[in-house]
Amino acid sequence: MKKEIEGIVDISEKKLVKRVATATGQLKLSKPSIDAINGNKVKKGNVIEASTIAAIQAVKETPRIIPHCHPIPLEGCNVDWEISDTVLHCTVTVTANYKTGIEMEAITGVCAGLLCALDMVKSYEKDNYGQYPDSEISQVKIISKYKSE
């Protein structure tokens, strides 16, 4: 049986329009991890700064990570962080004037930002067996998308 697999979707006939997408997610951490982040005491460096850079890099590299995503000329990327007692929240908003959506860029940025944060604090998260029983990335979702007409 022969199967035809479509390559990149042809968007050449679509018009350029303003697009904005926002995604969010959270990383559940231990209180010692949160305290280390807040006190800028993490051995690997400033978690928020490094994770922001990771999120921005991921936004820009999304077409290299997700095969069917188009390379998009991005015009803006904002990364916001909120820290509570045991949760690190990341929200990424991406802006472009282009022919196709940028939701995947926003959600990829969130995931990379949270993964970077976890990597930086994993020494605080390990239990006596070298496991991470309480660390959890969750609630990753696209919370809004805008497309001008």
Question: Per residue in 80-121, pLDDT tens?
Answer: 999 999 999 999 999 999 999 999 999 999 999 999 999 999
Q: What is the mean pLDDT of residues 7-22?
A: 93
Q: Answer whether 113's CB lies under 8 Å from 54's CB.
A: yes
Sign of CA dihedral 107, 108, 112, 118: positive
Q: What pTM was computed for the model?
A: 0.94
Which residue in 10, 35, 119, 127 is the catalytic one? 119
CATH code reported for the domain at 17-147: 3.30.70.640
Residue 7 has pLDDT above 90, yes or no: no
Per the annotation, the verdict on 119 as an active-site residue is yes
Q: Where are the domains of the chain?
A: 17-147
